Chains A and B, each alone.
Chain A
Amino acid sequence: MIKKVINNTIALHLVFWILSYGILLNILSIDESFFTIDYIFTGMFVFSLAVPVYVNRFLLIPLLLYKSKYFVYSTAFIALIFLGALFNELLFNNIVDFIFPNYYIISSYEYEELLLVFLVFLVSTTLLKLSKERLNQLEMKSQLARLKEEKMRIELKSLKDHINPHFLFNNLNTVYSLIEKDSKKAEEAIIQLSDILRFMIYQVKQDHVKITEEVKLIENYLNLQRNRIDGDVKIIFDYDIQVDTFIAPLLMMPLVENCFKHGITTQNKNPRIEIRLFSDERKIHFSALNSLNKSKPNDKRTGGSGLKNIKERLEYIYPQKHDFVYTLNENTFHAKIIIDNEL
């Protein structure tokens, strides 16, 4: 409710002037009870205050103060105090009788007293205005941060969604190929795939997962892949988890997938895949190396969407806290991710 009033300028001004009217009515009234003449007197007094307050609010502040013309603003502000007090005198000496001819109203205040009242009102309303501006700026800043966060979340979700179909498609193909070859292995593969899918459905929704969960996922995936590979492919998964730290889900998986996608063929001599993972209090090191598929001389994976997705995710999730490099030579492709540990 209070926030709504603060955000509604007209309501805020109404509250301010009603409060001011109430306080001034108590101060200016001669008797303990209030009569019509007291309401009129206070109303006229408040009106005489409102005019310079709004001149300051709508002219001086935007045209001078906001444009950093501090000296001119100060001079105009002081002049406004004097003019405001003069306006009050003009109102009570010359105008009030035309508006309320049945009443005899005189101003009970000397010019010096009026100057003080106008000074207090103009200073306090200026401070209120500036405070509200500051509040709006902070609100806008936090809204921008929220929007940015939301944008990132949407982009990440889209990246994850982009990953999922690839993942599923490749592994279903693997299971499919196993069903005919070895039903026992196919059964195990389905269990492994179901573990992988469970991870992808539940864990992937979290911002971070434990690195041991990610290790389990890679192991499942590698076992699944081992079942479908024909020939003698050397697959090494070497990990040393000294601290079970947290990591964004599925960050390393595309690189593991890529090893199989691009590096396994019977045409290669001594094909190999080496995946290494190390984590301690300070850093997470991940590397994926695979021998190249020489049957695909035009392999363009250095500019592929998989690597681009990894890069984008790293930039969003670990800005200034990561290193992602990959090298492609004649025989191997080697990608490395180093992340500053978030513990």
Chain B
Amino acid sequence: MKTIFQLLFLVCATVLMSSCIASLNPIYDEDELIHDPGLNGKWYDKDENKSINTKNTSFKVKTIERKKNMSHKMKKLYLWTFYDKDTASFTVHMVKIGAHEYLDFFPESFDFENDLAEICFFPVHAFCRIKRNGDNLKIHAFDFEYIKSLIENRELRMEYKMQDGHLLLMAPTEDLQKFIKKYENDPCLFENEPQIYIRKK
């Protein structure tokens, strides 16, 4: 389990964002999911080194999360595939918390070859704030180092687990939402510069 958690973290960190916070629980409740059809398409960063392919997905992809929770409405579920040095796919849910929209990422492309590996798979979520303006997409990641320091210095009251320097939030969805909503305007919690992607047809 430890190895897979680390692997997941590394994929998350290198492909999705420069850093990310892993959470045992998602930041959405099923009833709160929103959908933006304008998110579908192929997005590139300014150097065109990274790209994201995003589309509505079906349930054919297999994850433990999906097995547990089969009632998601298909139209509110995205499959995002990141192309960088590595390639990784994520099941993505969109939710509005406070004044902003957020995405909840859950790794999709870990297709285990044996049952033991699947049993040991430890599913985690990652979040970011998103703002789309036509063909412009801003992904604003949480400042992992800042939040980690808050938790280590006991300045943030939230359930967590620290494993080999990796932070895993254990707080329930309600607490995550309360935290995001309450401190949505605190610039310290987010990275200084958002990642900007442009859609190309």
Contacts and interface: CB of A to CB of B under 8 A. Distances in A.
B156 A36 contact: no
A102 interface: yes
Contacts of A41: 157
Nearest to A107: B178
A105 interface: yes
B155 A102 contact: yes
Contact of B154 (A35, A106, A108): A35
A102 B157 CA distance: 12
Interface string B160-201: 000000000001001100110011000000000000000000
Interface residues of B, number: 14
Given A93-B182, A110-B174, A105 B154 contact: no
Contacts of B158: 30, 106
A105 B157 contact: yes
B155 A106 contact: no
Contact of B150 (A30, A104, A107): A104
Interface residues of A, number: 15
Interface in A290-305: none
Interface in A63-86: none
Contacts of B171: 108
Nearest to B151: A104
A30 B179 contact: no
A113 to B, nearest CB: 10
A108 B179 CA distance: 10
B159 interface: yes
Nearest to A36: B154
Contacts of B183: 104
A30 B182 CA distance: 20
A106 B159 contact: no
A105 B154 CA distance: 10
Interface in A34-56: 35-38, 41
A102 B188 CA distance: 12
A239 interface: no
A30 B162 CA distance: 14
Among B150, B158, B171, B182, which residue has the most Cβ atoms of chain A within 10 A?
Answer: B182
Contacts of A38: 154, 157
Contacts of B175: 106, 108
A37 B159 CA distance: 13
Given A30-B157, A38-B157, A106 B178 contact: yes
B159 to A, nearest CB: 5
Nearest to B182: A106
Interface string B2-17: 0000000000000000
Interface in A106-164: 106-108, 110
Interface of A: 30, 35-38, 41, 93, 102-108, 110
Given A35-B154, A37-B155, 15 more contacts: A30-B158, A37-B156, A37-B157, A38-B154, A38-B157, A41-B157, A93-B182, A102-B155, A104-B157, A106-B157, A106-B158, A106-B175, A106-B178, A106-B179, A106-B182
